[in-house]
């Protein structure tokens, strides 16, 4: 209960920060914004929450051994959150991966049952989706600590997966510019779309709207009826959508578009290459590159 109240307070504190940046204790390697808070993973092994202009660690992972030597920090690769429960992927000994669970303020470290684990997502409070590098979807039961189902429908390299707005489907962006739609209830592929010639760096969905970014120096937006292409002259590494607007990265800026795909604002950005970009519940953008700055921008 304390954790959930603490996370809720962090949401209130993040309201209307405007165009600002905050220094974290180490380089940011993972970021997740949700209705329950702004969760940040660092390359020194800390996983925590941003609250009132400060980073507070929820856990600090044990040191590991890798090719740099012993007693190395375990970096956080990716974060998922559901109803105050947190799951993350972290570096393990000798290039391995661990799944980190924080439930009721208790941290559990689980050696990944999936080789070269790429992404972890909460399906529900007792089930994780563990996604491998070739679109292998594994249903992992938290209580029994076992994989209960595995689906594999392609050998394409996997970049990122996102839930549909109703959480009934999973959209997987893969090499070759293909987006696969996976029915989570039926546990099978429902359709696929060939959208780009190259790989897809990032994908965002809101209801029937879809935004993708690629190394082709283009972003593609589908508003539910028509598609709009944007020539960015630089690879589009990050995209984001909410109920009203969308955003995609360029070399030295972030472009904001309305529901119809019209460009309505361009936010200057001269930091390191963006590795995370998300909308907060209040409509602001939060983002990070591979340094220790957490950025906030007014999107409208």
What is the CATH number for 30?
2.120.10.30
Query: CA-CA distance, 290 to 28, in Å (whole number)?
Result: 6
pLDDT, tens digit (0-9, with 9 covering 90-100), for 152-203: 988 888 999 999 999 999 999 999 999 999 999 999 999 999 999 989 999 9
Is 18 domain-assigned? yes
Is 205 domain-assigned? no
pLDDT, tens digit (0-9, with 9 covering 90-100), for 231-283: 999 999 999 999 999 999 999 999 999 999 999 999 999 999 999 999 999 99
pTM: 0.92
Is 86 domain-assigned? yes
**Range of 17's domain?**
1-112
Domain count, the chain: 1
């Amino acid at each position: 209960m304390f954790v959930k109240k603490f996370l809720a307070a962090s949401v209130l504190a993040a309201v209307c920060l405007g165009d600002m940046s905050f220094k974290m204790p180490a380089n940011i390697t993972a970021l997740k914004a949700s209705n329950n808070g702004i969760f940040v993973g660092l390359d020194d092994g800390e996983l925590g929450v941003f609250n009132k202009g400060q980073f507070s660690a929820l856990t600090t992972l044990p040191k590991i051994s890798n090719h740099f030597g012993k007693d190395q920090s375990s970096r956080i690769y990716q974060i998922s959150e559901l109803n105050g429960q947190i799951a993350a992927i972290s570096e393990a000994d000798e290039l391995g991966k661990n799944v980190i669970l924080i439930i009721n303020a208790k941290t559990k470290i689980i050696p990944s049952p999936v080789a070269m684990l790429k992404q972890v997502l909460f399906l529900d409070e007792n089930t994780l989706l563990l996604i491998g590098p070739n679109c292998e979807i594994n249903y992992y039961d938290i209580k029994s600590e076992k994989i209960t189902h595995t689906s594999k429908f392609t050998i394409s390299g996997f970049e990122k997966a996102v839930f549909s707005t109703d959480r009934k489907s999973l959209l997987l962006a893969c090499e070759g510019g293909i987006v696969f739609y996976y029915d989570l209830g039926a546990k099978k592929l429902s359709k696929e779309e060939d959208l780009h010639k190259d790989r897809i760096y990032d994908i965002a969905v809101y209801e029937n709207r879809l935004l993708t970014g690629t190394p082709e120096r283009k972003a593609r937006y589908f508003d539910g009826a028509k598609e709009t292409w944007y020539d960015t002259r630089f690879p589009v590494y990050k995209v984001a959508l909410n109920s009203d607007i969308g955003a995609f990265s360029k070399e030295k800026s972030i472009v904001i578009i309305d529901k119809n795909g019209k460009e309505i604002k361009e936010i200057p950005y001269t930091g390191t290459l963006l590795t995370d970009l998300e909308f907060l519940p209040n409509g602001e953008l939060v983002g990070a590159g591979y340094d220790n700055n957490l950025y906030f921008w007014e999107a409208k």
